[in-house]
Amino acid sequence: MANSIVEYTLSNQTNESISIINYGARLTSWITQIDNEKCNIILSYPDLNDYLSDPYYLGAIAGPYANRISNAQIHIDNKVCILDQNEGSNQLHGGQKALSDLFWQLDYHQKNALSLSITLPDGYNGYPGKTTFNVLYSFTTSNNDQSKLDIKFTITSNKKTIAGPTSHPYFNLNGSNNSAYGHVLKLAGAHYTPINTHAIPSGLILPVANTPFDYTSARVLNTTDKLDHNFLIEQTLNLHTVKQHATLKSADEKLALNVLSNYPAIQVYTGHHLKNPFKAFDGICLEPQFCPDSPNNPHFPFSYITPQVPLQTHISYCLTNFKS
pTM: 0.97
Task: List pLDDT tens digits, range 276-311.
Answer: 999 999 999 999 999 999 999 999 999 999 999 999
Q: Tell me the average pLDDT across 71-99.
A: 97
Task: List pLDDT tens digits, range 43-66.
Answer: 999 999 999 999 999 999 999 999
Report which residue type is found at 144.
N
Burial (CB < 10 A; 0-12, 13-18, 19+), residue 121, is exposed
> Quick check: bond before 64 cis, omega within 30?
yes
Q: What is the pLDDT of residue 143?
A: 74
Chain centroid, CA 282 distance in Å? 17
- DSSP-derived 3-state class of residue 66: coil
Q: Which residues lie across from 266 on neighbouring strands?
A: 231, 288
Task: List pLDDT tens digits, range 120-140.
Answer: 999 999 999 999 999 999 999
Q: What is the pLDDT of residue 178?
A: 82
Report yes or no: 86 and 103 within 8 Å, Cβ to Cβ: no
Burial (CB < 10 A; 0-12, 13-18, 19+), residue 228, is middle
Residue 186's nearest CA partner among 276, 111, 249, 229 is: 249
d(C-alpha 146, C-alpha 320), whole Å: 5
SS3 letters across 178-239: CCCCCCEEEECCCEECCECCCCCECCCCEECCCCCCCCCCCEECCCCCCCEEEEECCCCCCC
Residue 157's nearest CA partner among 84, 63, 24 is: 63
